[in-house]
Amino acid sequence: MTRPPGRPRDLGKGLAILDAGWMLFLEHGVEATSIAAIAAKAEKETAYHLRHSAEWMIRLGDGTAESARRAQAAVDALWAYTGEMFTPPDALLMADGIAVDPETLRPAYDATVASVLGQATLARPAGTWMHKGGRQGRHTEHLGLLLAEMQHLQRTYPGATW
């Protein structure tokens, strides 16, 4: 997911809607032994992140009028990026047990998000348009800036180790 950089404290309010998806993929999406151990550790970390982000979303959404406004704005800003989670991966990955058909996880995702948003007294965005194409290599221009920053040291000091 590449989206325009914003104020992290504002975007963090909406992360539960993304954490809910990642948690489901880790719980149900990895059977291949080559990556199952990594997924098991990531599942524990993601469970913590989901719990933490959901608690904050609930506190802020059900808090003052200003905190509710900002939490709703964060959810609205991130919502169009959640559709990418449900774009099917390559069929061979699913056949080999490396990936799961994401549509099978959508009902559980929708239930988790509805529960958190309901407790937070926030509304699920009405828009149905979603960003897509990341799995095919189509990204927003913001990924280029992020990659350039991440690659700076390696390009400046080729072969360096630390």
- pLDDT exceeds 70 at position 108: yes
Residue pair 20/113 in contact (Cβ under 8 Å)? The answer is yes
Q: Which domains does the chain have, with CATH numbers?
A: 8-136 (1.20.1260.10)
Q: What are phi and psi of 128, to 5 degrees?
A: -110, -10
- pLDDT exceeds 90 at position 133: no
Q: Is the dihedral of CA 16, 17, 18, 24 positive or negative?
A: positive
CA distances to 23, 45, 116, 161 from 51, rounded to whole Å, are: 10, 10, 10, 36
Which pLDDT band holds residue 11 (cuts at 50, 70, 90)?
low
Round the average pLDDT of the chain to a whole number and report it. 81
pTM over 0.85: no
- Structure-token match 């995702």, residue found: 109
> Which tens digit of pLDDT belongs to each residue from 17-70?
777 877 777 777 566 556 777 777 888 888 888 899 899 999 999 999 999 999
- At residue 20, the pLDDT reads 80
Which pLDDT band holds residue 3 (cuts at 50, 70, 90)?
low
- pLDDT exceeds 70 at position 2: no
